[in-house]
Structures are given as structure tokens and as C-alpha cells.
Structure 1
Amino acid sequence: MKKPAAITCAFLDIGGVLLTDGWNHHARRRAVKNFKLDGSETEARHRLCFAAYEIGKLTLEEYLSTVIFYVKRSFTRAQFRHFMFAQSKPYPAMIDLAAQLKHRHGLKIAVVSNEARELNAYRIQKFGLDRCVDFFVSSCIVGLRKPDADIFRLALDLAQTPAGQVVYIENTPMFVEIAAGLGIRSILHSDYRATCAQLAALGLPIDQGVIRASR
């Protein structure tokens, strides 16, 4: 049997892997409660325009005008933006894992994520993701979003790496299936230890002795 090619590159998601999700339904529910919004109306407006926001067709201000500030509010845009950004929290052990893949194992590291521009920029800077990531294939920049397989094809082109030499770490089963269908060895991330075990099975052991985390 032919030996699998050595892995030389890792693709990682951000939300649910390196950080919490930036603006998911849990965060929106918290916003509804905190700002006393109409939950049904807010969610309906969000669903109609968020895809356009994630691929860079709407700015944050345009998104907020459509979803939140279509009527006069008792709070300011700045207050709401601050709340949105504050929902992002790191998974330190997973960020350390990415750094180990880069510095210990010499892998090229890319992020392939569905993220809106302003949140994406904030999250990269706030949590220092650019210290361990070589390049970002963010939906807001490339105009493609998962589950479109073309975002993975673009990432492969940018990495200049064959699919068989890439490992992809992602917490959404559908996206794992799509990447695997392109020949990318994919890990469905559920927790830190399980992902470390799967990486070790691929010949990429991670030192778990320094940082502990639930994800």
C-alpha cells in the first residue's frame, strides 16, 4: 500500500476552533436580551443579510442599519459594536496547538473561515492570530464562503500545496465532508484532546503539558 504523503500544511477554522464563534445565534440571543430587542424580527433581518455581510458585500455599519438600527434605539451604535466584539473569546490551547503545528512541525498554517470583515480584523488582532497563521482565506475578503468548495480550492492554490498534504481542523461536520471530498485530510474538532490525538495519529504530536482548555 502506498504510504500517505507527509502533511506540510494545516487549514484551520476560527469560530469554534481557535476562538468562540464571532456572532452566532447564542450571541444574538444575548444581544436581544441585553438591548431588549424583538428577537424574531432581529433574527429574520439577520438571516436575510448576513450571507452578504460575510462575503464582504455589506459593511458592519450597513449590517447594523438593516438589522438593528432600522428604528430609533435607546442605545448607540458604538455600544452595540462593543457588545458584538466582546462576544469573542479565545481557546488558548487551540491557539497554542496552531503555533506548535507551525513552529514545532514546520507546517504552513492557513485559516479558512466564514467571517465578516470588521469582526475578522478585530479577532485576528485582538488574539494575535497572525503570530501563528501565514495567511487568511476569509470569506469577507475572497467573496466565497463555506460550504462552497471553491473556498478550499482557493486556499489550496494560495498554499501551493497538494490536497493530500493538508490537514483541516473544523468543527462543522458538513465543511469537514466537503474538504475531505477534495482529498484534504480533515479532523472534525470536538475538543482539544481529541484533536491532539487525531493529529498524533497523522504524525503530528502536540505537547499538551503547558496549556489546558475545554476546547
Structure 2
Amino acid sequence: MSATSKALLLDYGGVLTGPVQDSFAAFERRLGIPVGRSFEVLVAASRTTGGGLIGALERGEIAVDEFDGALVALLRQDGYDVEAGRLLDGLFQALEPAGALWDVARQARAAGVTTGLLSNSWGADTYPRAALDEHFDTLVISGEVGLRKPDPAIYHLACERIGRAPEQCVFVDDLPRNVEVAREIGMSAVLHDGDDGATVAAVSRSLGIRLEVP
């Protein structure tokens, strides 16, 4: 299979940015919340069919203001005196575009590989749209399509948008379950653990092209 018949799909948070948990930790330190606690509270409130609060936000079923209100209530129930406001902005304030995968997308695209973003969104304003448009042929963002990873339907939608079968796609994500589902539907999938060199090498092998770590 030639490189030009393949596609590269990348996640956003934790792949094209620094670790998401680092941004959460910075938010918690500013508010005097123990590091990791806000995420624990959110996850606990989302252990229901459909992913609860997180799932609803990622599918675009609730607005950011509604999510913020729910998060304020959860943190207050947990004993933290937080003010109402744009808490979601605070959670992602330290999440900036970073890492070698931006350049990998550029290199792959220059080699004729179709590139796409496949991301679970926590509000549309968290994305650098101009930069994404420069690096990707297609953007599949959960809140805009009403689906979220790891639902297989969003992977198939991404394949449809880029005009490739799952077997022609290489997918990179930082969450094991998202990678598992990609493999289950036939994609080559790489778990990004923060080691740019290892991820670039794996993507290079899967695409069959030479990619350089910048």
C-alpha cells in the first residue's frame, strides 16, 4: 500500500499539546485544590451510561456554561469554595500546542498522506483553528458531530470524511481505550505516552515513509 493511499489521524489534547493533566494541575494549584482532585470529581460524576457530564460535553449536548455550573457544584460538594465562572477556561489555560506531532503531520501531508484531526472536544474555543487548518485536511471534533471516542461510530465517520478505509489509517491518541477501539475496527494505532521519538518512529513504520523528529 503506497503512502498516498494512507491517512494519518491525530488526537489533539495530549498529542498535539502538552499533557492534559498538567493543565488540570495548574488550574488546581491556582484554586488551592489538591492536584488531580478536579479530574477525579469529574470522572466520578461521569461513570454512567454515555459518560455522564464529560460525555455530554464532548458530544456537544450541553453548553460550556452548563458544564461550568455543574463543575462548580461538584467542587463545592467536595468542600472547595470555588466561584462560578468559566472554570473550563481555567482547566485548559495551560494547554498549548506543543510537540513533534505537528511537524509529523506537516511532513506526512507533504509526502501525500491525507491528514485528519480526531478529537474529543471540551468546548470549541480550545482549538487553534488556523494552525489546524494548515496541517490537516479534515477536522472531526466530537462536539460538532455529536459523537465521541471511544464510540466506533466517530472513527468510521473520520474514515468517511477522509475517504479511506480503517485499514488505510494510522491513528495516534494518548488514551489506551481510544487506541484499543481504533485497532478493533482495523486501524493501525499508536499510543502516545509523551515520547515523541517513539511515536514518530511508530508512525513512520506504519505509514511506510521516513519522518524526522524536529
Q: TM-score, normalised by structure 2?
A: 0.78
Instruction: Kindly state the Cα deviation for residue 174 of structure 1 after the two structures are TM-superposed.
Output: 2.1
Instruction: Kindly state the Cα deviation for residue 43 of structure 1 after the two structures are TM-superposed.
Output: 4.4
**What number of residue pairs does the alignment pair up?**
199
Instruction: Kindly state the Cα deviation for residue 42 of structure 1 after the two structures are TM-superposed.
Output: 7.9
Q: Any idea what SS the aligned residue of 1:56 has?
A: coil
State the match for 1:55 in structure 2: 59
Give unpaired runs (5+ residues) of structure 2: 47-52
After superposition, the Cα gap between the structure-2 partners of 1:42 and 1:8, relative to the gap in structure 1 and judged at 3 Å, is closer
State the match for 1:9 in structure 2: 7
Equivalent residue in structure 2 for 1:123, among 123, 127, 147: 127
After superposition, the Cα gap between the structure-2 partners of 1:194 and 1:36, relative to the gap in structure 1 and judged at 3 Å, is closer
Instruction: Kindly state the Cα deviation for residue 201 of structure 1 after the two structures are TM-superposed.
Output: 2.3
Cα distance in 2 for residues equivalent to 1:14 and 1:96 = 14
Q: Is the 8 A contact 1:56 1:143 kept in 2?
A: yes
After superposition, the Cα gap between the structure-2 partners of 1:199 and 1:81, relative to the gap in structure 1 and judged at 3 Å, is closer
Instruction: Kindly state the Cα deviation for residue 161 of structure 1 after the two structures are TM-superposed.
Output: 0.9
Instruction: Kindly state the Cα deviation for residue 153 of structure 1 after the two structures are TM-superposed.
Output: 0.9
Q: Any idea what SS the aligned residue of 1:131 has?
A: helix
Instruction: Kindly state the Cα deviation for residue 159 of structure 1 after the two structures are TM-superposed.
Output: 1.4
Q: Does 1:111 align with 2:117?
A: yes
Instruction: Kindly state the Cα deviation for residue 21 of structure 1 after the two structures are TM-superposed.
Output: 4.8
After superposition, the Cα gap between the structure-2 partners of 1:117 and 1:21, relative to the gap in structure 1 and judged at 3 Å, is farther
Q: Any idea what SS the aligned residue of 1:168 has?
A: strand
Q: Quick check: 190-199 or 130-139, which moved more?
A: 190-199
After superposition, the Cα gap between the structure-2 partners of 1:41 and 1:187, relative to the gap in structure 1 and judged at 3 Å, is closer
Q: Any idea what SS the aligned residue of 2:112 has?
A: coil
State the match for 1:88 in structure 2: 95
Cα RMSD, aligned residues only: 2.9
Q: Does 1:140 align with 2:147?
A: no
Cα distance in 2 for residues equivalent to 1:9 and 1:74 = 44
Give unpaired runs (5+ residues) of structure 1: none
State the match for 1:205 in structure 2: 210
After superposition, the Cα gap between the structure-2 partners of 1:85 and 1:5, relative to the gap in structure 1 and judged at 3 Å, is same
Cα distance in 2 for residues equivalent to 1:177 and 1:136 = 21
State the match for 1:77 in structure 2: 85
Q: Deviations over 1:63-99 (max 9, x none)?
A: 111112687x675625x45533322122242111111
Q: Is the 8 A contact 2:175 2:191 kept in 1?
A: yes
Q: Is the 8 A contact 1:88 1:123 kept in 2?
A: no
After superposition, the Cα gap between the structure-2 partners of 1:189 and 1:43, relative to the gap in structure 1 and judged at 3 Å, is closer
Instruction: Kindly state the Cα deviation for residue 61 of structure 1 after the two structures are TM-superposed.
Output: 1.0
Q: TM-score, normalised by structure 1?
A: 0.78
Matched letter for residue 116 of structure 2: A
Q: Deviations over 1:132-151 (max 9, x none)?
A: 01121111111111111111
Matched letter for residue 135 of structure 2: C
After superposition, the Cα gap between the structure-2 partners of 1:61 and 1:94, relative to the gap in structure 1 and judged at 3 Å, is same
Q: Does 1:44 align with 2:41?
A: yes
Q: Is the 8 A contact 1:14 1:21 kept in 2?
A: no
